[in-house]
Structure 1
């Protein structure tokens, strides 16, 4: 499998609310990964002794200004120790929302928001306070419904400090460490019952957290995870990707850049870009959804690559496989609610079905639901009522339903 195809697949994976993707290509140019500018706020920086800390250990907390979109809610920014895909320590952050009417040790929902971005200002903790209405949190209405129930919510910046867009396994680890930190932050959550939820890219971080938890965070007693629209197999997705111009090509390029940041030795996509491609990379290196889409709109792989045919590359393929949940041999030890569109044009539904079946065969209670939506984004909204009902049952301690 050539690296050109692999990058196309990865770009397809994390599109949120976009219906199709194109491709990124290859060239003999030599270029190092382009990392995002560091956040100017020193709060986000990793301390010098981070290697001495344990996963999920709190590094710093900060009480944030109230948010009008979440009335009656205290906002706390928590910085904690996590690990990247190579096991090296990183500083990660999560925004914890605690409603004033909650009870001590009331439910805690870790909600993995969709993040399409490569720069510091794309983090959920930043987007919450942006003056730009086009960057506002999309799921505010659903989160308010959660807060109204007295549940606290943790919103991790699950792409990590280098904004490794496309690195799904990393998102799972940060999610679990964020839960550890939220419970230890002195917010009255140390004994809280825990659940997780997320859709699309956020669903992928949630699903990976559920699968990794038995070994990565075995001490966490998680009541269940609701995962929607999850790209379960990145390798399979390359079959549906073509090289024609597409308005969402910028997100394809962003995924390639993000994976290179997380796997600089195994996925050196910058070496495969021509001069025009490297210039486009520089344009989006710190961009969020709108800038990334604008920069890539109508472009395609041929414009950014000097070669369309590369030899098979085992290391690049391994990166894709390592971030494909269908190919991961671990299974969750908690109930799963899974929902998606029956005819989702973005993700291969059969990979979801096979993953659900594997979990069922392992004894995992899986409640799988199809929405009436014919596409990816609206399925997220249509699934909210059923997700909330299912989560309520997990927090009550009811027996988890299953349609395995």
Structure 2
């Protein structure tokens, strides 16, 4: 019997007699219980997007003697247009910036890829050891850049939902300027890989319409998932299925109508994994499950609900105003990304170029995990160039 067969038998043996009274509530993350800073207070509806709700200067379990850690919560907007409280961390080197112009800022979008609230980057910076893989933040800080880390999955940990992520990053940039006015005129480059690339892509695409007051010097993304429907061919039923399932659950948290597609087994499994971090979720791929085996729908991804959500999370409808660069593991460099199709990125590059955007594509060597590292020299050069063009170098 396969591992999925074992899991399927366990699920079948533990199905409740009656479905949960509120299936949607059963898949939401458990709120953080040991730090009220991360809990959204009532009464944020009248605040403007990006307005600071609370702030603090704090320290983490891992000492950062050369860095000041600011944390703040801003009013943002979820994928359905409702107010949402989003937290963010701002790491600023203590040594003065000696380059020309104001100190540059990297909006570093971590590949959170988790479902549990305690896996959000700002919580991990204070209560854990961080979750930046590969560890790029120290490279930014060593160059004297400030680093802004938005908890871009939002209050419901909506892993893979693009609109929520883009809004969160843009509002964090707005809030940063109020928290540290000396960075108000700093050039900002957004960076992210994999799950963080989703946030970076949507930050750039949504900026002209959602945050025209925010100026980006550029954005660079690697290993970018651009089309959920493509991932069904490369991740469903493979060792990447655990993260695919988690991403589906993240989408459902922001689009409650998707819960209609969850069968009893899917709801039970979701209630078990709703607070997990990326590592156990990724290990769940050893089951090699197919998501359609957890639902009562014969073709769940062909339903109107799934089509609408997939389309809503496919970038390309509008082009970014800021210069953008993609890097991706490419078969043209001997080894390509077998889980996140390169074709999705190259298609988006062409769509944005046709829309008038300045987009560069850099193929790099390596599968999805290796490409994160082989692309770093390009990322560092490209980011430094954008800062130089903006007057800070």
1:353 is displaced (CA, Å) by 1.2
- Pick the aligned partner of 1:123 from 102, 120, 124: 120
d(CA) in 2 for partners of 1:176, 1:317: 27
In structure 1, runs of 5+ residues without a counterpart are 1-27, 400-404
Q: Against the structure 1 CA distance between its residues 70 and 228, is the aligned structure 2 distance closer, same or farther, given a 3 Å change threshold?
A: farther
Whether 1:216 and 2:219 are equivalent positions in the alignment is no
Q: Which residue of the partner structure matches residue 205 of structure 1?
A: 199
1:63 is displaced (CA, Å) by 0.8
Q: Against the structure 1 CA distance between its residues 233 and 253, is the aligned structure 2 distance closer, same or farther, given a 3 Å change threshold?
A: closer
d(CA) in 1 for partners of 2:389, 2:152: 28
- Pick the aligned partner of 2:359 from 358, 366, 371: 366
Q: Which residue of the partner structure matches residue 291 of structure 1?
A: 280
1:241 is displaced (CA, Å) by 4.8
- Pick the aligned partner of 1:78 from 67, 72, 75: 72
Larger displacement relative to structure 2 (63-72 or 98-107):
63-72
* Matching of residues 87-102 of structure 1 within 5 Å: 87-102=81-96
1:307 is displaced (CA, Å) by 5.0
Assess if the C-alpha contact under 8 Å between 1:111 and 1:153 holds in 2: yes
Whether 1:392 and 2:381 are equivalent positions in the alignment is no
Whether 1:324 and 2:314 are equivalent positions in the alignment is yes
Whether 1:378 and 2:381 are equivalent positions in the alignment is no
Structure with higher RCO (Cα < 8 A, 6+ apart): 1
Query: What's the TM-score once normalised by structure 1's chain length?
Result: 0.83
Query: What's the TM-score once normalised by structure 2's chain length?
Result: 0.85
d(CA) in 1 for partners of 2:388, 2:300: 54
RMSD in angstroms over aligned alpha carbons?
Answer: 2.4
d(CA) in 2 for partners of 1:358, 1:303: 34
Corresponding residue SS for 2:287: coil
Q: Against the structure 1 CA distance between its residues 231 and 299, is the aligned structure 2 distance closer, same or farther, given a 3 Å change threshold?
A: closer
Corresponding residue SS for 2:156: coil
* Matching of residues 179-328 of structure 1 within 5 Å: 179-186=173-180, 188-242=182-236, 244=237, 246-265=238-257, 267-268=258-259, 271-274=261-264, 276-295=265-284, 297-301=286-290, 304-306=294-296, 308-309=298-299, 312-325=302-315, 328=316
Q: Which residue of the partner structure matches residue 337 of structure 1?
A: 325
Assess if the C-alpha contact under 8 Å between 1:284 and 1:295 holds in 2: no
1:337 is displaced (CA, Å) by 1.5
d(CA) in 1 for partners of 2:329, 2:285: 27
1:303 is displaced (CA, Å) by 5.5
Corresponding residue SS for 2:159: coil
Corresponding residue SS for 1:352: helix
1:297 is displaced (CA, Å) by 3.2
- Show CA shifts across 1:347-372 (max 9, x none): 22122112112222333222211112
- Show CA shifts across 1:170-198 (max 9, x none): 11111111111111113521121111111
Corresponding residue SS for 1:129: helix
Corresponding residue SS for 1:51: coil
- Pick the aligned partner of 2:107 from 107, 110, 124: 110
1:253 is displaced (CA, Å) by 2.4
Q: Which residue of the partner structure matches residue 32 of structure 1?
A: 23
Larger displacement relative to structure 2 (122-131 or 201-210):
122-131
Assess if the C-alpha contact under 8 Å between 1:113 and 1:198 holds in 2: yes
Number of residues paired by the alignment?
361
Corresponding residue SS for 1:222: coil
